[in-house]
Amino acid sequence: MAHEIERKFRVTGEGWRQGQGTLLRQGYLSREKESTVRVRLVGERARLTIKGITRGIRRREFEYEIPVEDAEVMLEELCAKPLIEKRRYRIESGPHTWEVDEFFGDNEGLVIAEIELESEDESFEKPAWLGEEVSDDPRYFNANLVEHPYSTW
């Protein structure tokens, strides 16, 4: 079965900025505690993702490619608003890749770095621009940023 093991951190400074990044738009069809269902559009590709309840830094995750046209309709007509809009930067660091998300819209000003790991106790190099860990703080879950955007904190 598919699992995601992810740690999440606030980002400080500008040392993480590399290249142009990739624009993402995503919305949620379901944001229940036990499972979330997300639609994500990245350029000419779209995915439907189902995530289970988070236990520590681990949760079940299933992801499927869907037609872009379907994703666009879901985002506009079926997903809770506001949509999550962000630019993602991928930064290589040793054997790992950091994904740094710079949020826009109602979440403007929020910058989060995530790293996916093979195990919960796997060690990794922490870049100088990495700030406070927020893996256990549900305010930083993308699904929660819909109902409680960063601009309202």
Active site (annotated) includes residue 28 = yes
- What does CATH list as the number for 3-152? 2.40.320.10
Q: Distance between CA atoms of 115 and 97, rounded to whole angstroms? A: 7
Q: What pTM does this model have? A: 0.91
Q: What percent of the chain has pLDDT over 90?
A: 85
Let me know: does 10 contact 120? Beta carbons within 8 Å. Answer: no
Question: What is the per-residue pLDDT across 20-49, written as a single tens digit (0 to 9) for each?
Answer: 899 999 999 999 888 999 999 998 999 999
The residue from 28, 89, 140, 150 that is catalytic is 28
- Confidence grade of residue 88 (pLDDT, cut at 50, 70, 90): very high
E strand or H helix that includes residue 129: none
- End-to-end, the C-alpha distance of the chain in Å comes to 36
